[in-house]
Structure 1
Amino acid sequence: MTQNTPVLSYTYLPNTYNPYDRRDFATIRTIPTGVLETFVLTLLYSPADTRIQRTCRVTQRKEGSFHHAVFLTITERPSPSGHPDQDLILKIPAHGTRDKWCAQDAYMMANEANIMRLIRHTTSCPVPQVLAFDWTLNNGIRAPYILMTKLNGIPAVDVWLGQPYKRIPKPTLHLHADNAAPGLEKKRVTFLRSLARAMSQLAPLEFDQIGIPVFSDGAQKMEFLSVGEAWRWHSRRDMQDLIASGPFDSSAEFFCTALAEICESDRGVRKVMDIVLECAPFTGTREPSLCANKEKEGDGKPTAPREWFVLRHNDLDLQNVLVDEHGNVTGIIDWDGCMAVPRCISYTSLPTFLRRDWLPGSTMGHVPHMTWAFEHYRQIYVAAMKEFCGPADAKFTLKSHIYQAVLAALDGDVDCRDVAKLFIQEIPEFRRVDGEALFRRLGVGWPDAEGLLKVKIAELLRPG
């Protein structure tokens, strides 16, 4: 079935120093291209249907940090009603092998596929259509997979920068990142407004706990069962030991449990983080549901306000958004790790590329290579989110770069110490203070400084 040799794009090198790294790209790569092509055809079509001749061709195989992606094109002859070729993606976990895959992996993958199905069936947020998935290895390729449609569009990073990212010399990427020409600025504004509109479509999907929405296994009719525990198995770039989290009934329980698990040994840093989590919005808010029927008892009477939780894309960055040539969003991909979370870190949050200045370790060398324009574009996104989903949830957008930095520290993606220093630097009274010296004094007890920090950090975090 293979007409041309597919493009192979493999960049992963195993981390021999990490005992938790279960990725086995080498084994996944050995799945023959012909086997993949035959497997996809048998998944989608009955062998008894001989009226139309169908061919499946693998056009590319490439790898991200944790998955092997197979790009396929299905051609029909004769083509019914002039239908164009169908482009698909088969997503295979890098650790989806018999000696690496485990029950927790299967649980997370099945619910990732079902969350994508839920979003596509109940909202207008542009996500891929899941055609088939199997969280077991009992299939024709002997690996777990999600088969989905390939969305049209070009990478958002190319539109944001004004030309294909790979064609721009790396040393010059920062030169025009902050001051875009009028035509490029128009595309950026269109993109930000379109992205805010797309994410705002997730508003009606509410849950009564923090965790992974769990669905029935039925392929034809998907039924929501409950919110279950989330299993975290990787950071942004590396695999970790499997860690269970939740489900949680409140924002306060979620954040405080995460801080306790970090076991920050520096008492001064821990005091700053404790102060942070004692402030709104990390303490949670009890507000009416956006879905009116959830706020009524069985007899139809309104219930007392409570916390409701909504979805969060785990990596809403330029590489995971597709757009047209004008900047309109055509697709959002990579929903791995999507879960129900407190509203302050949910779908209304700023995308990752607009909060890099609050991510320790990020530099001008990271996309979008900006230095001083973050606040300008944040304000555009905030205004759009308020327009599309109203003030109830959009009140968290303005300072979500700060809330997300706290989450990154609690998840272990960045160091608590670095985030605590960012808070100190944002407070005028402490801006020129040596952070390390301040932490040492807080660690042995400094009530006056603690009192001032409580006031100033509360002001900094207060939703706007």
Structure 2
Amino acid sequence: MTETPVVNDHQRARSASPSQNSEADDIFSAVISEVDQTSLAPLAKSIRSRIDRQYNGKEPIVAEAIFGSYHMLFPLHFSDGVSWIVKIPHNGTKEKWDDLSANALLSEANTMCLLRRLTTIPLPEVFHLSSTTDNRLRCPYIMMSFVAGKSLYDVWFGHRLGNAKPEDVMKHRLKALSGIAEAMVQLGIFSFNQGGSMTFDAFGKFSGIGPARSLDHKAMLDRWFVHNDPSDDPIYVEDDVANGTKSYYLRPLARHPEEKGFPHGVWVLLHWLVNEIEEPENSKPFVLAHPNFDIQNFIVAEDGQLLSIIDWDGVAAVPRSVGNLRYPSWLTRDWDPAMYAYSESMDAGVEPEGVWEDSPNVLADYRLLYRQIMSRILGGTYDQRETRMSLITENLAIACHDPRCRNDILTKMIQQMGEHHSSPRFPSFTRLADKLGTNEHLLQKIRPGLEDAFRNLLLVDNL
């Protein structure tokens, strides 16, 4: 399931009206017009009656739709207190729905069912699925359980939001991180020789690894800034099955090669950095991981106890360097400067215009604590490098996939490489990209120093 109806700074709840003038309405207006909302309640009742023969109650009450980034959710409340959610993708109309999206929805739902069968990871229960527009709702959907609780964001920043005393917040945070780490460790049983989405047969039995669906951020930026097309529709692409870990990182760069100047230098530098990543030694280099390991996708109790992990859209087997043992994304935000909005005024309690952030020092402390939690769970089998290096590898993956974040991430990374290297004349990112843009063979000359600096960075304990 992607996003239960817990509303915070990361989410906006509105009634499902296509006449509203907002960015989300542009994305959702077509599917809102298409979906037969009058069929939601009777469809849910008929499905529940089939799986729960004891249920003889009324049709559920349908609450206002909640909009996520690329889907909308209809909460359903039954008369006996049970609540469900119907998730409908933003492109779930006959005109926009395609095989790529249908396969992604099938993989998401079937993977969730598999995780519920084989692990104790808390996640919603899938009751029904339609991956076509040929159904009573006229849109594809997943119907699943609703898990009551609080967004981890509200608990993590409880002292800022007035939900908890400052002295209790650290205990709540550590409890949440412990539950999350225990869940992520369990994903390690799903390891593979290839990367991609899990595929299933008609009976829901795992059948192999297939292509995955991802957003093409570069194509979306080009649509706005090159082609002057104001459309907000996401552009999805099919990623072939990855037979090597490096191809997972480099696919977006292969899709949009840069051939000259500064952008080409950035392109060369990214390729070099990715190829320097040493994957953890394991016979199967790919592992199942949560696709959006961010704070809004964890539902917890007030004390931080983990209740549910949501937003499994795009779940796939990925390289272990960004796999199930990586840091949670909100603990690595300081290495993605384009998205990190921390200011010192937050520490004085000044409310931000956007979301609350932790300082770089606090994030470094929690990264250490997360490794200690992992060590406690895994014991002697745990190699801390697999988690520690994910601070670098996760942000390299972001830099490869999202041009909006690329230069800022690389600026910080090259700066940190210089700070942990003995050379007093270590080049800046802009100088490197400029020179490599006109002479990529220069990389061979400066490679030994760069290799040293990058390897040193991966070994640093207190980043």
Out of 322, 341, 358, the position equivalent to 1:370 is 358
Partner of 2:40: 36
Q: Which amino acid aligns with 2:60?
A: C
Instruction: Tell me how far apart the structure 1 counterparts of residues 313 and 460 of structure 2 sit (CA, whole Å).
Output: 28
Q: Which amino acid aligns with 1:8?
A: S
Instruction: Tell me how far apart the structure 2 counterparts of residues 150 and 328 of structure 1 sit (CA, whole Å).
Output: 17
Distance 1:317 1:255, change over 3 A: closer
Q: Which amino acid aligns with 2:315?
A: C
Contact 1:262/1:412, CA 8 A, preserved across alignment:
no
1:190 and 2:175 aligned: yes
Structure 1 range deviating more: 34-43 or 62-71: 34-43
- Residues 6-62 of structure 1, C-alpha deviation per residue, up to 9 Å, x if partnerless? 97277883489xxxx9x4434425645432111211222259979823331113311
1:359 and 2:367 aligned: no
Q: Equivalent residues in 2 for 1:304-383 (5 A)?
A: 306-361=283-338, 362-364=340-342, 367-371=355-359, 372-383=361-372
- Residues 88-127 of structure 1, C-alpha deviation per residue, up to 9 Å, x if partnerless? 1000011101111111110111111011111111101111
Give the Å deviation of 1:131: 0.5
Distance 1:328 1:35, change over 3 A: same
Instruction: Tell me how far apart the structure 1 counterparts of residues 375 and 289 of structure 2 sit (CA, whole Å).
Output: 17
- SS state at 1:243 partner: strand
Q: Equivalent residues in 2 for 1:25-64 (5 A)?
A: 25-28=29-32, 31=35, 33-46=37-50, 52-64=56-68
Distance 1:245 1:64, change over 3 A: same
Instruction: Tell me how far apart the structure 1 counterparts of residues 408 and 269 of structure 2 sit (CA, whole Å).
Output: 11
Distance 1:413 1:436, change over 3 A: closer
Instruction: Tell me how far apart the structure 2 counterparts of residues 46 and 274 of structure 1 sit (CA, whole Å).
Output: 53
Q: Which amino acid aligns with 1:326?
A: D
Partner of 2:82: 86
Instruction: Tell me how far apart the structure 2 counterparts of residues 226 and 51 of structure 1 sit (CA, whole Å).
Output: 37
Q: Which amino acid aligns with 2:265?
A: G
Instruction: Tell me how far apart the structure 1 counterparts of residues 454 and 236 of structure 2 sit (CA, whole Å).
Output: 33
Q: Which amino acid aligns with 1:185?
A: M
Partner of 1:298: none
Out of 13, 30, 39, the position equivalent to 2:22 is 13
Distance 1:235 1:273, change over 3 A: closer
Aligned-residue sequence identity (percent) comes to 26
Instruction: Tell me how far apart the structure 2 counterparts of residues 48 and 15 of structure 1 sit (CA, whole Å).
Output: 36
Q: When the two structures are superposed, what TM-score results if normalisation uses the length of structure 1?
A: 0.80
1:208 and 2:196 aligned: no
Structure 1 range deviating more: 88-97 or 36-45: 36-45
Q: Which amino acid aligns with 1:425?
A: Q
Structure 1 range deviating more: 254-263 or 417-426: 254-263
Distance 1:209 1:463, change over 3 A: farther
Please list every run of 5 or more consecutive structure 1 residues that lacks an aligned counterpart in the other structure: 1-5, 77-84, 169-175, 288-305
- Residues 415-437 of structure 1, C-alpha deviation per residue, up to 9 Å, x if partnerless? 43333212211022479854323
Partner of 1:299: none
Q: Which amino acid aligns with 2:434?
A: R
Out of 213, 232, 242, the position equivalent to 1:248 is 242
Contact 2:127/2:144, CA 8 A, preserved across alignment:
yes
Q: When the two structures are superposed, what TM-score results if normalisation uses the length of structure 2?
A: 0.80
Structure 1 range deviating more: 318-327 or 409-418: 409-418
Partner of 2:257: 263
Instruction: Tell me how far apart the structure 2 counterparts of residues 436 and 393 of structure 1 sit (CA, whole Å).
Output: 34
Give the Å deviation of 1:250: 2.0
Instruction: Tell me how far apart the structure 1 counterparts of residues 54 and 307 of structure 2 sit (CA, whole Å).
Output: 34
- SS state at 1:75 partner: coil
Contact 2:62/2:76, CA 8 A, preserved across alignment:
yes
Partner of 2:9: none
Distance 1:127 1:48, change over 3 A: closer
- SS state at 1:397 partner: helix
Partner of 1:79: none
Structure 1 range deviating more: 446-455 or 208-217: 446-455
- SS state at 2:198 partner: strand
Partner of 1:295: none
- SS state at 1:131 partner: strand
Partner of 1:407: 397
Out of 116, 140, 151, the position equivalent to 1:144 is 140
Q: Which amino acid aligns with 2:39?
A: V
Distance 1:119 1:234, change over 3 A: farther
Contact 1:348/1:394, CA 8 A, preserved across alignment:
no
- Residues 168-202 of structure 1, C-alpha deviation per residue, up to 9 Å, x if partnerless? 9xxxxxxx9xxx93221111122212211122121
Distance 1:420 1:233, change over 3 A: closer
Give the Å deviation of 1:146: 0.3
Instruction: Tell me how far apart the structure 1 counterparts of residues 274 and 459 of structure 2 sit (CA, whole Å).
Output: 12
Distance 1:258 1:73, change over 3 A: same
Q: Equivalent residues in 2 for 1:56-75 (5 A)?
A: 56-75=60-79
Partner of 1:122: 118
- SS state at 1:225 partner: strand
Give the Å deviation of 1:272: 2.4
How many correspondences in the alignment? 412
Q: Which amino acid aligns with 1:268?
A: G
Instruction: Tell me how far apart the structure 1 counterparts of residues 14 and 371 of structure 2 sit (CA, whole Å).
Output: 40
Higher relative helix content: 2
Distance 1:136 1:430, change over 3 A: farther
Partner of 1:297: none
